[in-house]
Structure 1
Amino acid sequence: MIFIILGFLLYGVLYGNVKPETYDINVFEESDQTIVAPKNEEDKKKTKEKREKAAEEVEPVYVHNNEQLPNRIALVDSIFTLVKDVNKDSAPDDSENTEDTINETKKVPTLDEKLATLKKNLTANVKEDITKELSDEDLKSLLSLSQEELERVNIFIVSQLKTVMDEKVYEEELTDAKGKMEQYLKMSNFSEKVIQSMVSIGRLAVAPTEIYNEELTEEKRIAAMEAVEKEIILEGTIIVREGEMVTHEMYRQLELLGLLSDGGSLKIYLGLGIFVFVSIGAIYYHFYNWNLPEERKQNRLILLSLIFVISLILMKIVGLMNELELDKVGFLYPAALAGMLIRIMLNERVAMLLVMILAACGSIVFHYEISGAIDIEMAMYILFSGLAGVLFLSNRRQRSNILQAGLSVSAVNVLIIFFLIFLRGAQYSEVEYMYFVVYAFVSGISSAVLTIGFLPFFEAGFGILSAMRLVELSNPNHPLLKKILTETPGTYHHSVMVANLAESACEAIGANGLLARVGCYYHDVGKTRRPHFFIENQLNMENPHDRLLPETSRNIIISHATDGAEMLRKHKLPKEFIDIAEQHHGTSLLKFFYHKAKEQGKDVNEEEYRYPGPKPQTKEIAIISIADSVEAAVRSMKSPTAEEIKKLVNNIVKDRLQDGQFDECDLTLKELQVVKKTLCETLNGIFHSRIEYPENEEKENKHESSH
Structure 2
Amino acid sequence: MDKLQQHFRRIHNLLDISFFRVVFFLIIGIVLFGVMFNNVRPEKLNIKLFSVADKTIRSPGTVEDKKSTEEKRKEARDQVQDVYALKKEYTQNRVDLITSIFQAAAEVNDELAEDLKKETESSQDKAVNTAPSVSDKVTKLKGKLTTTVTKDLSNQVFTALVQASNSELSIAKDLTVTAINHVMSQKISADDVENAKKRVEEELKYSTLSDELRQASIELGRYAVIQNEFYDPQATEELRRQAAESVEPVKILQGQVIVEEGELINQEIYQQLKLVGLLNTEKTYKPFIGLMVLISIIVSAIYYYFYQMKSQPEKRHTFLLLYGIIFIFSIILMKMISMLQIINFSGIGYLFPAAMAGILIKITIDERLAILTSIILAVCGSIMFNEGVTGSLNFSEGIYVLFSAFAGILFLSKQNRRSKILQAGLFVTLINILTLAAVMFLPNGQYSGIEYGYYLITALVSGIGSAVLTIGLLPFFEASFGILSTMRLIELSNPNHPLLRKILMEAPGTYHHSVMVANLAESACEAIGANGLLARVGSYYHDIGKTKRPNFFIENQLHLDNPHDRLPPDKSASIIVAHVTDGAAILKKYHMPKEIIDIAEQHHGTTLLKYFYHKVLQLNPEAGEEDFRYPGPKAHSKESAVVGIADSVEAAVRSMSKPTPEGIEALVKKIVDERLQDGQLNECDLTMKEIEIVTHTLCETLKGIFHSRIEYPEIIKKVKQA
TM-score norm. by structure 1 comes to: 0.87
Report deviation, 1:674: 0.9
Indicate which of 174, 192, 206 corresponds to 1:176: 192
Report deviation, 1:369: 5.6
Is the contact made by 2:180 and 2:221 (CA closer than 8 Å) also made in structure 1? Answer: no
Following superposition of structure 1 onto structure 2, how do residues 603-682 of structure 1 map, counting pairs within 5 Å?
603-682=622-701
Report deviation, 1:568: 1.1
C-alpha distance in structure 2 between counterparts of 1:114 and 1:200, whole Å: 15
Per-residue CA distance 1:637-670 (angstroms, 9 max, x = gap): 1231111111111111111111111111111111
C-alpha distance in structure 2 between counterparts of 1:421 and 1:54, whole Å: 43
Which range is displaced more, 289-298 or 365-374? 365-374
Which range is displaced more, 341-350 or 329-338? 329-338
Matched, 1:337 2:356: yes
C-alpha distance in structure 1 between counterparts of 2:319 and 2:689, whole Å: 29
Quote the residue 2:158 is aligned against: 143
For 1:613, give the aligned amino acid.
Answer: G
Matched, 1:56 2:56: no
Matched, 1:581 2:600: yes
Quote the residue 1:386 is aligned against: 405
Per-residue CA distance 1:16-52 (angstroms, 9 max, x = gap): 2222123466768888887542222221222232123
C-alpha distance in structure 1 between counterparts of 2:468 and 2:303, whole Å: 30
Is the contact made by 1:141 and 1:193 (CA closer than 8 Å) also made in structure 2? Answer: no
Distance verdict in 2 for CA 1:10–1:701, change over 3 Å: farther
Distance verdict in 2 for CA 1:559–1:279, change over 3 Å: same
Distance verdict in 2 for CA 1:175–1:634, change over 3 Å: same
Matched, 1:494 2:513: yes
Is the contact made by 2:112 and 2:132 (CA closer than 8 Å) also made in structure 1? Answer: no
Which range is displaced more, 445-454 or 312-321? 312-321
Distance verdict in 2 for CA 1:150–1:507, change over 3 Å: same
Quote the residue 1:37 is aligned against: 59
Q: Which runs of 5+ in 1 are unaligned?
A: 120-130, 703-707
Quote the residue 2:566 is aligned against: 547
Quote the residue 2:42 is aligned against: 20
Distance verdict in 2 for CA 1:443–1:78, change over 3 Å: farther
Is the contact made by 1:367 and 1:373 (CA closer than 8 Å) also made in structure 2? Answer: yes
Which range is displaced more, 105-114 or 339-348? 105-114
Distance verdict in 2 for CA 1:82–1:269, change over 3 Å: farther
Indicate which of 287, 302, 306 corresponds to 2:325: 306
Per-residue CA distance 1:311-350 (angstroms, 9 max, x = gap): 2122223323333232443333222111111111112111
For 1:117, give the aligned amino acid.
Answer: K
For 1:529, give the aligned amino acid.
Answer: K
Is the contact made by 2:180 and 2:200 (CA closer than 8 Å) also made in structure 1? Answer: no
Quote the residue 1:123 is aligned against: none
Is the contact made by 2:341 and 2:348 (CA closer than 8 Å) also made in structure 1? Answer: yes
Per-residue CA distance 1:506-538 (angstroms, 9 max, x = gap): 111111111111121111111111110011100
Report deviation, 1:152: 7.8
Matched, 1:231 2:246: no
C-alpha distance in structure 2 between counterparts of 1:37 and 1:78, whole Å: 75
For 1:177, give the aligned amino acid.
Answer: V
For 1:55, give the aligned amino acid.
Answer: R
C-alpha distance in structure 1 between counterparts of 2:212 and 2:68, whole Å: 62
For 1:169, give the aligned amino acid.
Answer: K
Distance verdict in 2 for CA 1:183–1:391, change over 3 Å: closer
Per-residue CA distance 1:406-459 (angstroms, 9 max, x = gap): 221222223333334444444445554444443333322221121112111111
Quote the residue 2:124 is aligned against: 100
Quote the residue 1:208 is aligned against: 228
Report deviation, 1:577: 1.4
Which range is displaced more, 142-151 or 271-280? 142-151
Following superposition of structure 1 onto structure 2, how do residues 267-306 of structure 1 map, counting pairs within 5 Å?
267-306=286-325
Is the contact made by 1:587 and 1:612 (CA closer than 8 Å) also made in structure 2? Answer: yes
Report deviation, 1:585: 1.0
Distance verdict in 2 for CA 1:432–1:70, change over 3 Å: farther
Distance verdict in 2 for CA 1:541–1:183, change over 3 Å: closer
C-alpha distance in structure 1 between counterparts of 2:395 and 2:241, whole Å: 35
Per-residue CA distance 1:567-606 (angstroms, 9 max, x = gap): 1111111111111111111111111112211211164222
Report deviation, 1:61: 6.0
Quote the residue 1:115 is aligned against: 142
C-alpha distance in structure 1 between counterparts of 2:550 and 2:328, whole Å: 50
C-alpha distance in structure 1 between counterparts of 2:441 and 2:363, whole Å: 34
For 1:465, give the aligned amino acid.
Answer: L
Is the contact made by 2:422 and 2:467 (CA closer than 8 Å) also made in structure 1? Answer: yes
Which range is displaced more, 138-147 or 399-408? 138-147
SS of the residue 1:440 aligns to: helix
Quote the residue 2:18 is aligned against: none
Report deviation, 1:54: 2.0
Distance verdict in 2 for CA 1:210–1:640, change over 3 Å: farther
How many percent of aligned residue pairs carry the same amino acid? 48
Quote the residue 2:365 is aligned against: 346
Indicate which of 69, 72, 89 corresponds to 2:111: 89
For 2:512, give the aligned amino acid.
Answer: H
Quote the residue 1:7 is aligned against: 29
Indicate which of 528, 534, 543 corresponds to 1:524: 543
Quote the residue 1:122 is aligned against: none
Distance verdict in 2 for CA 1:419–1:214, change over 3 Å: farther
Distance verdict in 2 for CA 1:698–1:218, change over 3 Å: farther
TM-score norm. by structure 2 comes to: 0.85
SS of the residue 2:277 aligns to: coil
C-alpha distance in structure 1 between counterparts of 2:54 and 2:76, whole Å: 38
Q: Which runs of 5+ in 2 are unaligned?
A: 1-22
Following superposition of structure 1 onto structure 2, how do residues 246-265 of structure 1 map, counting pairs within 5 Å?
249-261=268-280, 263-265=282-284
Is the contact made by 1:398 and 1:468 (CA closer than 8 Å) also made in structure 2? Answer: yes
Indicate which of 575, 596, 613 corresponds to 2:615: 596
Distance verdict in 2 for CA 1:89–1:436, change over 3 Å: farther
Aligned length: 686
Matched, 1:322 2:322: no
Matched, 1:511 2:533: no
Following superposition of structure 1 onto structure 2, how do residues 367-406 of structure 1 map, counting pairs within 5 Å?
367-368=386-387, 373-406=392-425
Distance verdict in 2 for CA 1:434–1:161, change over 3 Å: farther
Indicate which of 369, 372, 376 corresponds to 1:357: 376
For 1:100, give the aligned amino acid.
Answer: Q
For 2:164, give the aligned amino acid.
Answer: Q
Following superposition of structure 1 onto structure 2, how do residues 443-482 of structure 1 map, counting pairs within 5 Å?
443-482=462-501
C-alpha distance in structure 1 between counterparts of 2:432 and 2:513, whole Å: 48
